[in-house]
Amino acid sequence: MSTFLIKTMALAGLAAFAFLPGAKADQQNQKTVFTFSGPVEVPGQVLPAGTYVFKLANTHSRHLVQVFSKDETRLVSTFIAIPNYRLNASDQTIIKFDERAAGSPQAIKEWFYPGRNHGHEFVYPKTEAITLAKANNTPVPFMPNDLAPDTLTQDANLNGPGVEALNAAPVMAETPNGSEVEIGTVFMVTAGHGDGPAELPAELPTTATSLPLMVLIGSLSLFGAVGLRIAAPRKG
């Protein structure tokens, strides 16, 4: 069994999803309720096990995600995300985790709202991005370390100084070999909240093994052999 499949199976039970009535209809902020059975990491902090409400912030200047307490009375975190893209939209919420060292909380990598091809790739402070890039052998978007405290702002006002700092933060990508590169060279770049057309990077990052491709090639070869045998004329 491949490492990719093992990791997927191991993380499958970490997050359980529940939707508040009407949540899926709220297309603007993509409000989603997540219940985590263990601690998980988001940019700037580790969330203890529990239930949280994730929303897109109502801003057009920068892709921001806000995390609230279960009853939405407390703002837990505000952080940067960049648009991500998948070819096939799912009718279920999709959340993916980056691999971490044994004993460390899993870090949320990306979140896709039901029915959307465009999702949200989380931007971590540089120090954590270095760790994640090496552990997963894939580029990780990052912001400067000194902006990490701004993700903890308790001010839900999108005009506050913490949000303004995040809106102005430069975002780069950390590669597994320790290089800093422009975000558009390794990630798809879209405008606004990810509803516009996507521009493909020069080289897509490798995030999975070649097992699915090998299975596909083997299946096609098998079907081809069967087809030739059926099509071959029979001798009388």
- pLDDT of res. 169: 92
User: For the CA atoms of the chain, what is the radius of gyration?
Assistant: 21
Angle CA(8)–CA(128)–CA(118) in degrees, nearest 5?
55
- pLDDT of res. 187: 85
Is 236 part of a structural domain of the chain? no
Task: Identify the domain containing residue 74 by its residue range.
Answer: 3-231
Mean pLDDT by 10 residues, the chain (236 residues): 36 42 59 94 96 86 89 94 90 90 89 92 96 94 95 81 90 94 81 38 37 40 44 47
Is 93 part of a structural domain of the chain? yes
Of the candidates 183, 198, 189, 8, which has an alpha carbon nearest to the alpha carbon of residue 117?
198
- pLDDT of res. 58: 74
Residue 230 tokens read as 């059926």
| Residue 152 burial (CB count, 10 A) | 14
Is 16 part of a structural domain of the chain? yes
Is 206 part of a structural domain of the chain? yes
- pLDDT of res. 141: 96
- pLDDT of res. 190: 52
Is 58 part of a structural domain of the chain? yes
Please state whether 222 falls in left (phi above 0), alpha (psi between -120 and 50) or beta: alpha
Is 155 part of a structural domain of the chain? yes
C-beta of residue 34 within 8 angstroms of C-beta of residue 52: yes
HEC profile for the chain? CCHHHHHHHHHCCCEEEECCCCHHHCCCCCCEEEEECCCEEECCEEECCEEEEEEECCCCCCCEEEEEECCCCCEEEEEEEEEEECCCCCCCCEEEEECCCCCCCEEEEEEECCCCCEEEEECEEHHHHHHHHHHHCCCEEEECHHHHHHHHCCCCCCCCHHHHHHHHCCCEEECCCCCEEEHHHCCCECCCCCCCCCECCCCCCCCCCCHHHHHHHHHHHHHHHHHHHHHCCCCC
Number of domains in the chain: 1
Is 181 part of a structural domain of the chain? yes
